[in-house]
Structure 1
Amino acid sequence: MSRPLDILEASCAGLVRRMVRLPQTISRAVDQGLDLMRDVGGPRNHHQFPPPNVPVHNTFQPEWGFLASFEQQYGLVHPFFYACRFVEVLKMAQDEQKLVFLYLHSPNHPFTPPFCKNTLCSEVVVQFLDANFVSWGGAADRDEGLHMATMLRPASFPFCAVVVPHSGDSLAVVQQMEGPMTPEELLEILQTTLEEQGPSLGNKRAKEIEKRRTDIRLRQEQDAAYSTSLLADQLQEEESQLVRKKKHQDNANAKAQNAQILIRFPNGERMEKTFLERDKIGDIFKFVDSLGTSGVGSNYKLVSSFPRKVYGVDQMEMTLKDAGFYPKITLFIELE
């Protein structure tokens, strides 16, 4: 939005206004004032309007009283004044990283009607405030508006201020405007204030975003570390199971009885080998085949001498224990 300085300078002629710029860190006994606010009542809902012809003060909370009275006199086109306690507006502004536009309404002041009609309710001011600020209004002579007027001590009306949450439930006044002003003047001041305060709000927002990113990154690193630790535990458990299985196998092997098998070949050669009693007759055939003894092909049988028994293909799966080869036996190779 452009800022026509020539119009601004012309409109300032004869202007009755006192504009005070306060340091950002000022917090003028606000904690005490906000303690008084807490006594007004609990949180209220908004987005509802009082029915016509019903006395406001007898039916509605103070925030609705101001809003209903304002709309009855100046219409529905106005900044979106949040009808809630001021401390709740501060929290909204803090969450949304916005400045607060505060308006204290003095209905009997002669400058109030033209300011409300021509400036505060002008469409361009309404759009600018709704887009960039969180707005709150109150009557300067009653309820929370009176508490705020007591804290801020306006010297003249109309009175507007730009405030930010400071610490806890306190606030800092960064700009206050007193006396009548045109829409161009108000927009000029608001735009300047927004430009001056915007970087600090942006930095705070950036810090919050960075903190969230850091928290997410930390959680991801913790999750990754947990997954790595879990995988290491699983591998260690699998390794432990293998060790236990091997140990069990070794123990089982140690408990198994040995069978001494003496094999006599047709050419008179003799070969002795120790087998386990749970080994099978087929293992003896594999052993004989591995020797590659001349004159012994693939067609042969194993024969025990006394009592004579012949072991061939049909007995391959029989264990040495079941065959009676324990603790020792002599087998002859009989060619077919």
Structure 2
Amino acid sequence: MSFGFFRKAPRALRPFPASARVFPAAGEGAGSAGEPRREEEGGGKRGRQRRRRRHFRRVTERRVRGGSKMAAPEERELTAEQTEKLLQFQDLTGIESMDQCRHTLEQHNWNIEAAVQDRLNEQEGVPSVFNPPPSRPLQVNTADHRIYSYVVSRPQPRGLLGWGYYFMMLPFRFTYYTLLDIFRFALRFIRPDPRSRVTDPVGDIISFIHMFEEKYGRIHPVFYQGTYSQALNDAKRELRFLLVYLHGDDHQDTDEFCRNTLCVPEVITLINTRMLFWACSTNKPEGYRVSQALRENTYPFLAVIMLKDRRMTVVGRLEGLIQADDLINQLIFIMDANQTYLVSERLEREERNQTQVLRQQQDEAYLASLRADQEKERKKKEERERKKKKEEEVQQQKLAEERRRQTLQEEKERKSECLPPEPHPDDPESVKIIFKLPNDSRVERRFHFTQSLTVIHDFLFSLKESPEKFQIEANFPRRVLPCLPTEEWPNPPTLQEAGLSHTEVLFVQDLTDD
């Protein structure tokens, strides 16, 4: 009895993700020693996938119906897009429990790449780094994909001597691998696999690159110096093929592949010009985590990943010791077979960009028109407010002028009422004064010698024809009579003190404008 579950399961029995599966070839094991086999997915697998999707949808519908005993109160129905993501995540990770798959995806906001990246950390109890809700959810194509797989088998024993040696060593190999698996299984309970805890993924990549250059030299394809998730994002953003190489340090074919295949100038030129190249050792936590996601069968292992139907998909798997010329042919075949998807995606992106630019231009034109309309409306509003303010000022001025005139008229009436009576013409102590007004009119009146010059001012002020502000001037000698109190004349003099005779002519000078 073999403890096959302690090491990698045989290819025919091991489940692979839908987007990264090696398809069994008809008559496996047949053919000459070392002859590579090309295997493509048959129609049976696609039928099984469709049946799985239909079965999952029926189960989901039953679980979320009202009154169902299976549905939890907080569960809600999944959309078609989330259902496809759930099935794809299960295929990529190999997790059997749908509830666990759904829980993991919900923690990562339905980001498949991030969920796969953190799955092993969750198993070891390391807190996962959940992604924030994306501004735009990733759309997943619901169509089934045909994955190209190319496997190079190791040479089979030939002749009686070869088969005899094979059967002679079989018990020893069986015992060795069985004991090794038991030891590894027991060691997991004592000390968890340190590779399951990814603490420095970039450090793992840099360390592997240094190790590779020390062992195989500096002539090699350009390594992507970043995490697996970063490489996926860059390949998706740049619409380029991503070639993933998982380095098995302990595998017997690794050294020969690195020296005679991967570091060949023709291979380097092809990879550097047409692909992004990400590589890591499976002995490193980052490489081990990617290995758990891609589930390779043997080493050396290469996977070609690209954006297909708006999701990153494994479109080709190359396993085994492949020669340089054969590797070039297989990579070119995979890229040529899937180039149309990248071309289509580029066209869609260009169309989206053009649509976005057009929409942006329309938005800018609309905003410019809106700003122009707002500016016009603002100017109109300012003009209306200015006119309204001016009208209010004019109205206030009119009211003030009316109040001033009313006050002036009342003051004239008061002054007129307070004037002393005019002396009799025969009164010897009276003086006759003739006033020449600014409008060339004349006014005559008699005043008493003993009266103050203020009386003359009040008399003129009470006249309708007199200006609001004025001064009284005498002609011989020419002088201004101090009719109102000033600092020089606090008490205006009388007519006699001012030197006015029995008959005088005085001039009224208008001071209103001054």
> Do the structures match in fold with TM over 0.5?
yes
Write out aligned runs for 1:1-336 (5 A): 14-21=33-40, 28-30=91-93, 33-35=116-118, 36=120, 39-42=197-200, 44=202, 61-164=203-306, 171-240=312-381
SS of 1:107 mapped into structure 2: coil
Question: Displacement, 1:201?
Answer: 1.9
Please identify the structure whose Cα radius of gyration is greater: 2
**What is the aligned length?**
235
Alpha-carbon distance in structure 1 between the residues aligned to 2:271 and 2:244 = 11
1:4 counterpart residue number: none
The unaligned stretches of length 5 or more in structure 2 are 1-30, 47-83, 94-111, 122-127, 129-196, 399-438, 442-466, 468-514
The structure carrying a bigger strand percent of its residues is 1
Question: Displacement, 1:162?
Answer: 0.6
SS of 2:361 mapped into structure 1: helix
Deviations 1:34-78 (A, max 9, x none): 21277412563xxxxxxxxxxxxxxxx322332222212211111
TM-score (norm 1): 0.57
Question: Displacement, 1:163?
Answer: 1.7
Mark the CA change 1:245 to 1:238 in structure 2 (over 3 Å): closer, same or farther: same
Alpha-carbon distance in structure 2 between the residues aligned to 1:171 and 1:248 = 68
Mark the CA change 1:129 to 1:229 in structure 2 (over 3 Å): closer, same or farther: same
Question: Displacement, 1:158?
Answer: 1.8
Deviations 1:158-206 (A, max 9, x none): 21111236799x8522100112222221111111211222221232233
Mark the CA change 1:244 to 1:107 in structure 2 (over 3 Å): closer, same or farther: closer
Alpha-carbon distance in structure 1 between the residues aligned to 2:327 and 2:351 = 35
Alpha-carbon distance in structure 1 between the residues aligned to 2:290 and 2:206 = 17
Mark the CA change 1:238 to 1:138 in structure 2 (over 3 Å): closer, same or farther: closer
Are the counterparts in 2 of residues 21 and 175 from structure 1 also a CA contact under 8 Å? Answer: no
Deviations 1:247-280 (A, max 9, x none): 7888869x99xxxxxxxxxxxxxxxxxxxxxxxx
Mark the CA change 1:101 to 1:154 in structure 2 (over 3 Å): closer, same or farther: same
Are the counterparts in 2 of residues 102 and 137 from structure 1 also a CA contact under 8 Å? Answer: yes
The unaligned stretches of length 5 or more in structure 1 are 1-11, 45-60, 257-304, 308-323, 325-336
SS of 1:40 mapped into structure 2: coil
Mark the CA change 1:236 to 1:145 in structure 2 (over 3 Å): closer, same or farther: closer
Are the counterparts in 1 of residues 241 and 305 from structure 2 also a CA contact under 8 Å? Answer: yes
SS of 1:154 mapped into structure 2: coil
Are the counterparts in 1 of residues 236 and 312 from structure 2 also a CA contact under 8 Å? Answer: no
Question: Displacement, 1:18?
Answer: 4.5
Are the counterparts in 2 of residues 102 and 135 from structure 1 also a CA contact under 8 Å? Answer: yes
Are the counterparts in 2 of residues 81 and 136 from structure 1 also a CA contact under 8 Å? Answer: yes
Question: Displacement, 1:128?
Answer: 1.2
Which amino acid letter does the alignment assign opposite residue 119 of structure 1?
T
TM-score (norm 2): 0.39
Question: Displacement, 1:123?
Answer: 1.0
Alpha-carbon distance in structure 2 between the residues aligned to 1:34 and 1:249 = 73
Are the counterparts in 1 of residues 247 and 282 from structure 2 also a CA contact under 8 Å? Answer: yes
Identity of aligned residues (%): 23
Deviations 1:5-46 (A, max 9, x none): xxxxxxx985344555569x96633456421277412563xx
Are the counterparts in 2 of residues 105 and 159 from structure 1 also a CA contact under 8 Å? Answer: yes
SS of 1:76 mapped into structure 2: coil
Question: Displacement, 1:113?
Answer: 2.4
Structure having greater relative contact order (Cα 8 Å, sep ≥ 6):
1
Mark the CA change 1:233 to 1:128 in structure 2 (over 3 Å): closer, same or farther: same
Alpha-carbon distance in structure 2 between the residues aligned to 1:138 and 1:175 = 18
Question: Displacement, 1:88?
Answer: 1.6
Question: Displacement, 1:135?
Answer: 1.0
Cα RMSD of the aligned pairs, angstroms, is 3.8
Are the counterparts in 2 of residues 17 and 177 from structure 1 also a CA contact under 8 Å? Answer: no
Are the counterparts in 2 of residues 104 and 139 from structure 1 also a CA contact under 8 Å? Answer: yes
Are the counterparts in 2 of residues 63 and 83 from structure 1 also a CA contact under 8 Å? Answer: yes
SS of 1:108 mapped into structure 2: coil
